[in-house]
Amino acid sequence: MKPFFLVPLFFALLAAGCTVPSVEGGRPSLPEKMPPDFAFSLEFGINGRNAVNTFDHTVTKDLIAGGVVTANIALTTEELEQIYERMRKINIADSKKLIPDRKTCLQTPHGTDKWNIRINGNTITHQWSGEYCNPTPDALQLGELRDFVFELVKAKDEYKRLPEATGGYD
């Protein structure tokens, strides 16, 4: 009979104001407010040679024939909150379908994207390739998020001072 004692206790605690994390798609949903430990790293482009890393406040730019260059560039709290809100809107913590069922064609060269996101001590990872001509809706959402982050970075004076890329990819 003791296990039945726990059921009313659970409901009593719930009614008293205890919260249970909401679960959508098998994973906890993201808190409404950006947690203090929120950070991410994003590698993207051909061979993932571009990167934005908010863990160590660096940005790496692919200079193609000129190699890569890394600079200390930090996003502001306001910018991080904008990114976090976009991640909430696309349910970044949910599993994503990133490979199309039908692969109509392949592109070369192609970029790759790899996200590592820390939220409340948990790590969320998503990785996808731009090789498919028909990306999934989830891949398109992650691509739009990447583009938003990169636009914030490109607007920074520190990024504008980096050398221009030379050469190209075949």
List, for residues 113-167, the tens digit of each pLDDT value: 999 999 999 999 999 999 999 999 999 999 999 999 999 999 999 999 999 999 9
Specify whether the CB–CB gap between 115 and 124 falls below 8 A.
yes
Query: Could you give the residue ranges of the DSSP H alpha helices within the chain?
Result: 2-15, 77-89, 137-154, 157-160
Half-sphere exposure of 61 (CA within 13 A, CB side): 18
Does a structural domain hold residue 44? yes
Local structure of residue 47 (DSSP, 8 states): T
Buried b (16+ CB within 10 A) or exposed e, 141-152: bbbebbeebbeb
Does a structural domain hold residue 71? yes
pLDDT of the residue at 28 = 54
Does a structural domain hold residue 45? yes
Q: How many domains does the chain have?
A: 1
Specify whether the CB–CB gap between 41 and 24 falls below 8 A.
no
Does a structural domain hold residue 64? yes
Does a structural domain hold residue 31? yes
Q: What is the CATH number of the domain that holds 129?
A: 3.30.1560
Does a structural domain hold residue 60? yes
Does a structural domain hold residue 121? yes
pTM here is 0.81
Residue 123 sits in which domain range? 27-160
Does a structural domain hold residue 168? no
For residue 170, CA distances in Å to 1, 55, 134 come to: 71, 33, 21
List, for residues 48-100, the tens digit of each pLDDT value: 999 999 999 999 999 999 999 999 999 999 999 999 999 999 999 999 999 99
